[in-house]
Amino acid sequence: MTGSGLFIGVALVVGAYLAASSPTGQLVARSRGVDLRRVGSGNVGATNVLRALGPVAAGVVMLLDMGKGALPVVLARFLGQPVWLEVLAAIAAVAGHIWPLFQGFRGGKGVATAYGALLVLMPPAAVVALAIGLPIMAVTRYVSLGTLIGTAAGFVTLVVIVVLLGPWERLIYGSLALVVIVWRHRDNIRRLRDGTELRLSWPQVVSSGR
């Protein structure tokens, strides 16, 4: 990698982290006079925005958080960077959302940001994840269960495609995203196991799960 290439690579990764550190959920909530840390689950993600402000605000936050993951990958591709740099930018974006510099390293669970990056890196895997996870959420009203199963389905799809077609770098992203999302949902997994995970109630969220 040349000096200019190294500069572009570092700028992409650092920029992805810093941009994803922006507290989109908090900013949207504060514009409506709500502090997400003091309502519902205390999480700054779209599910807690849904709980506090309803589906329109939650949809806005979801799209913004997905953009955090998608845009760095799109930019890296537009600039002609190699796949491994696309993957690094995606990982940096997910890290920025989960451990944001501007919120004392206390952010969301990274699902929407990870999904946005996956949508660009491996669209078929993203489609499978949504096609399986969303109906599970709708039927069971467990966001966490749909998220976990959808993530696993997307990962399996990604593995199959990478084995058949490559490139292997995308498997690194998929593996890390799977591990981080499962780890960030460890409390939800425990509540699901114990039967104490509460459900979504449309149109108002009453669950303490995230």
Q: What is the pLDDT of residues 42-100, one digit of tens each?
A: 677 777 777 777 788 888 889 999 999 999 999 999 999 999 999 999 999 999 999 99
Mean pLDDT of 167-179: 95
Structural domain boundaries enclosing 69: 3-194
When divided into structural domains, the chain yields a total of 1
Write out pLDDT tens, residues 12-45. Answer: 999 999 999 988 888 888 887 777 777 766 677 7
Give pLDDT, residue 41.
Answer: 66
0.75 cut: is pTM over it?
yes
Q: Are 133 and 151 in contact (CB under 8 A)?
A: yes
- How many C-alpha atoms does 186 have within 13 Å on its Cβ side? 4
Does the residue 205 lie in any domain? Answer: no
Residues 54, 194, 98, 136: is their CA dihedral positive or negative?
A: negative
Does the residue 164 lie in any domain? Answer: yes
Does the residue 189 lie in any domain? Answer: yes
Residue 201 scores a pLDDT above 70: no
Does the residue 121 lie in any domain? Answer: yes
Does the residue 209 lie in any domain? Answer: no
Does the residue 137 lie in any domain? Answer: yes
Residue 118 scores a pLDDT above 80: yes
Does the residue 199 lie in any domain? Answer: no
Residue 203 scores a pLDDT above 80: no
Helix, strand or coil, per DSSP, at residue 96 = helix
Does the residue 207 lie in any domain? Answer: no
